Amino acid sequence: MARLLVRRLGLMLLIMLVVGFILFIVNEGDPRKVARGVLGPYAQEQQLDIWIQENGYDRPIPVRFLDWVGGVATGDLGESVQYKRPVNEFFWERLGNTGILAGLTFLIMVPLALLLGVLAGMKEGSLQDRTISVASIITTSIPEFASAVILTTVFVIQLKWLPGTSSMAAGWDWMQMILPVTVLVLYGFGYIARMTRASMAEVMTTHYIRTAVLKGLPYKRVILKHALRNALIAPFTVIMLQLNWLLSGVVVTEYAFAYKGFGTLLLEAALRRDIFVIEACGLAAVFVAVLSQTLGDIGYTFLNPRIRFS
């Protein structure tokens, strides 16, 4: 177990390093581009040269990369070009906002999806199964940007129940969270629910469920003690991977509702070529994704004794 942990963490570090290197090369590979980005389009060649020398961008790439890694490791994320402020000053707040959005979504989506998936998979082919399956196909077919439009049309424009943007301009407002969270949950839960259903349906046809029934156990115990645990092993990894997908959805949803999170920050930075912010956002996204995968793998190993003791 400890060995596995060390190995997984090592792999995670390696991936982070490779990703970091790619981000670094794409954004900072060409020193003149960096200088041009920082000093603006009207700076003269000479100014660029001076800037490059002063900031050490004339050093070879490997040295600069090591320097960069050192900086990131000690929490120095550089200075934003567009805000002329250290990235650290506003980056973490934006990340926190996204954390709240994603956390709320997860809190609602996962239990709902698991419950519906188990209910559907328990009786494969039943009316209950068909209804849940078709409903989850329909919701996963509506992309976030489409459901944002459709829900806004209904609840903001027609019914006037909810605010149409979530910029929190006048301080934190939970009402503004309802639409973004709903949009994310609707798109995301169907996938987990369908995975859970498939897994549950498969477990219900296994021989050990037959053994449990023919042992004379009550149906409830067969489901709760024998089926559930085995059925939840597969969806568990899916849920952890879903975090990765959620981050994709977050970019679109935040943009749709003007929510001040990490996604809107990344978009702005990408459009204005604000390289240090792009790097910070890229690293954060990959870190979350890789961490969730690692946790998923470790959790899977823990849930599945066949792997745990081999």
Partner 1 sequence: MSQANATDGTVSASDRPKGLFERTIGSIVLLKESPVGLVGAVLVTIFFIVAIFAPLLAPHHYETFIMPMAAPLSTGPNGEFLLLGADLRGRDIFSRLIYGTQRVVFYASLATFCAYIVGILMGLAAGYFRGWVDEVLSFLANVILSFPVMVLFVLIITSIGASGATIVFAVVFASAPGIMRIVRGLTLDIATRDYIAAAQTRGESPWYIMLVELLPNARGPLIVDACLRMGYTTITIGALGFLGLGLPPPFPDWGGMINETRTLAMGGFWWMPFFPALAVSLLVLGFNLLADGLREVSLRD
Partner 2 sequence: MSDTLQQAEPVKSPPKGEPVLAIDNLSISYFIRAGEVPAVKDFTLTLYPGEAVGIVGESGCGKSTVAMAIMQYMGGNGGIVGGSIKFMGRDMSKMSQEELRQLRGSDIAMIYQEPMSALNPSMLIGRQLLEVPLFHEPGISEDDAWTRAEEMLAKVKLPDPARVMNAYPHQISGGQQQRVVIAMALLSNPTLLLLDEPTTALDVTVEAGIVKLIKEISAEFGTSMIYISHNMGLILETCDRVCVMYSGVAVETGTVKEVFDMMRHPYTRGLFGSIPLPTADKNANPLVPIRGQLPLPYNRPDGCYFGPRCDFFEEGRCDDPKGVPWLTVDEASGHAVRCLRWTEIDWDNYTPDMEQHPPNEPGEEVLHVENMRKYFEVRDTSLKALFTGKASRWVKANESISFSARKRETVAIVGESGCGKSTFAKVLMGLETSTDGQIVYNGEEISQLPVTRRTPRQIGSLQMVFQNPNETLNPSHTVGGQIIRVIKKFGVAKSEEDVHKRVDELLDLVKLPRAFKYRKPRQLSGGQKQRIGIARAFAGYPPMVIADEPVSALDVSVQAAVTGLLMDIQRQYDTTLLFISHDLSVVRYLSDRVVVMYLGMIMEQGDVEEVYAPPYHPYTEALLSAVPIADTSIEKREIVLEGNLPSVLNPPKGCPFSTRCPRKIGAICDEERPPFRDAGNGHVITCHIELEELSKVEPVIVTKSPGGGAGEKAPEPAE
C-alpha–C-alpha distance, residues 254 and 155, integer Å: 18
Provide, rounded to whole angstroms, the least separation between the CB of residue 93 and partner 1: 19
Number of residues that bind partner 2 (CB under 8 A): 32
Q: Closest Cα to residue 200, out of 116, 134, 137, 118?
A: 118
DSSP state of 116: H
* Alpha carbons 256 and 254: distance in angstroms, whole number: 5
By beta-carbon proximity to partner 1, the closer residue of 79 and 202 is 202
Please check whether residue 227 is in contact with residue 297, taking contact to mean a CB–CB distance below 8 angstroms.
no
Q: Which tokens sit at 85? A: 């402020």
| CB-count burial class (<10 Å; 0-12, 13-18, 19+) for 310 | exposed
Q: Which amino acid is at 213?
A: V
Least distance from partner 1 to the Cβ atom of residue 50, Å: 26
Give the one entry of partner 1, partner 2, none that residue 226 binds, where binding means its C-beta sits below a cut-off of 5 to 8 angstroms depending on kind.
Answer: partner 2
Residue keyed to tokens 């997984």: 8
CB of 310 to partner 2, least distance (A): 8
Residues facing 79 on adjacent strands: 86
Chosen residue from 95, 233, 238, 258 binding partner 2 by CB under 8 A = 233
Buried b (16+ CB within 10 A) or exposed e, 256-288: bbebbbbbbbbebbeeebbbbbbbbbbbbbbeb
Contact 278, 24 (CB under 8 A): no
In whole angstroms, how close is the CB of 3 to partner 2 at the nearest point?
7
> Taking contact as CB under 8 A, which single stretch among the options 4-12, 96-104, 112-120, 234-242 is the one that binds partner 2?
4-12
Stretch of 46-54, 93-101, 113-121, 274-282 lying at the interface with partner 1 (CB under 8 A) = 274-282
Contact partner at residue 2 from partner 2, partner 1, none, CB < 5 to 8 Å by partner kind: none
- 155 lines the binding site for partner 1 (CB under 8 A): no
212 binds, among partner 1, partner 2, none (CB under 5 to 8 A by kind): partner 2
By the criterion CB under 8 A, which residues form the site for partner 2?
3, 6-7, 10-11, 14, 124-125, 206-208, 210-218, 221, 225-226, 229-230, 233, 303-306, 309-310
Which residues are at the interface with partner 1 (CB under 8 A)? 15, 18-19, 22-23, 26, 133-134, 137-138, 140-147, 149-150, 152-153, 156-158, 164, 244-245, 247-249, 251-252, 255-256, 263, 266-267, 270-271, 273, 278, 281-282, 285-286, 288-290, 293
